[in-house]
Copies of this chain bind each other. A is one copy, B any other.
Amino acid sequence: VDSPNSGDHLDDRPDLTDEFAVIDRLRVRFEAGARSLYPHQAFPPAGDTWIGDDAAVVSIGAGTGTDARGVWTTDLVVEGIHFDLGICSLDDVGFKALMVSVSDLAAMGAWPRYALVSIAAPSGTDLDLLGEGLATAAELAECAVVGGDLSQAPTLVVSVSALGILRGETPGGPVLRSGARPGDHLLVTGPLGRSAAGLRLLRGGQVQDGPATAGLAGAYRRPMARLREGETARLAGATAAIDVSDGLVADVRHLGRSSNVGVALDSLPVADGASEAEAMGGGEDYELLMATPDPDRLVEAFRSAGMASPLAIGACTSHPGQYSRAGLPLPSGGWRHGF
């Protein structure tokens, strides 16, 4: 249940005061409230994952005589923060809102089945165009939009909640952020920095009009959730994963902190046309960062599925709190929005 950092990838940090601390306090408060609902059980119930990962895993079958579990997330995009209507259109906004939400499911190895859309929009907003983008993304994600809510508001805000399942004959559990172990290899599903570079080009007016999905601008306007990659990684034994929404530097720390490992990066796959800084800190690429003790198995699984090979970028270490690149400490930074 994570969100992109900001449309301003690199330097404009949101100033919600002490956001990490606020989210930790909210987590404590929400868990305290829920604990009384499970007086005679492990808390959260065994197999569930609640606050603290890309998505929540909930026992939807409880009380219905089955053990079905859903993987469930919500993400919101806000005008002026996550998108700028001067450089993308309303169908891009709808597309992105749905994709960033299902990207959280991709990071768990889950597949989206259903989505609900909440739209707060200024009067006169072309909701058909917004809906076209939502529907297009839903089709690509093979997910049905089954309801929603609509309100007038001074600023456009689109929140998408997505509900998914773990597919496969022996689905096992989801891929959490917390499962990486020292020695695990780290890989990403593709080169980084495309979205940030696209934003830079769009802001500079350096983009020729073309297909909305094309090139770096397309990576910013219409990111693609790595659903097949996430599911493949889960079935190939990945121990942890996270989508690179806040930027590699931030998301490496999220994964390391959740798994209680350090991270040593030794390689940085920079996308063509992107800078190293954009690849390190840009975010909104929605590539997956994956940990595995057996990278050959992961690479082979991707190859068998006809997907581009994942790219090795480093390894997990037994030094929690230590994050390095080529032996030098990683810059700090990273803002967490999901909880």
Digit string of A132-143 for contact with B (CB within 8 Å is 1, else 0)? 101110110011
**Do most interface residues of chain A lie in helix, strand or loop, or is the interface mixed?**
mixed
Contact partner, A23, options B67, B77, B150, Cβ 8 Å: B150
Contact present for B63 and A60 (CB under 8 Å)? no
Is the beta-carbon distance between B151 and A30 smaller than 8 angstroms? Answer: no
Residues of B within 8 A of A70 (CB): 60, 70, 163
Partner of A152, one of B78, B114, B131: B78
Q: Does A159 contact B (CB under 8 A)?
A: yes
* Bound complex: CA A136 to CA B147 (Å): 26
Most chain B CB inside 10 Å of its own CB: which residue of A15, A23, A53, A147: A147
Name A13's closest neighbour in chain B (CB-CB): B152
Q: Is the CB of A1 within 8 A of B157?
A: no
A220 within 8 Å of B (CB atoms): no
Q: Across the interface, do A50 and B147 meet the contact criterion of CB distance under 8 Å?
A: yes
Which listed residue (B32, B150, B155) contacts A337, Cβ 8 A?
A: B150
Near B by CB (< 8 A), chain A positions 298-339 give: 337-339
Chain A interface residue count, CB cutoff 8 Å, equals: 92
CB pair A145–B33 under 8 Å, yes or no, is yes
Q: Is A26 an interface residue (CB 8 A)?
A: yes
Cβ of A290 < 8 Å from any Cβ of B?
no
Contact of A74 among B34, B60, B116 (CB under 8 A): B116
A2-56 residues at the B interface, CB under 8 angstroms: 2-3, 6, 14-17, 19, 22-23, 25-26, 29-30, 32-34, 36-37, 44, 48, 50-51, 53, 55-56
A85 interface residue (CB < 8 Å to B): no
A339-B118 contact given A60-B113, A70-B60, A163-B58, CB 8 Å threshold: no
Known interface pairs A118-B75, A150-B339, A339-B150. Does A66 touch B68 (Cβ–Cβ under 8 Å)?
yes
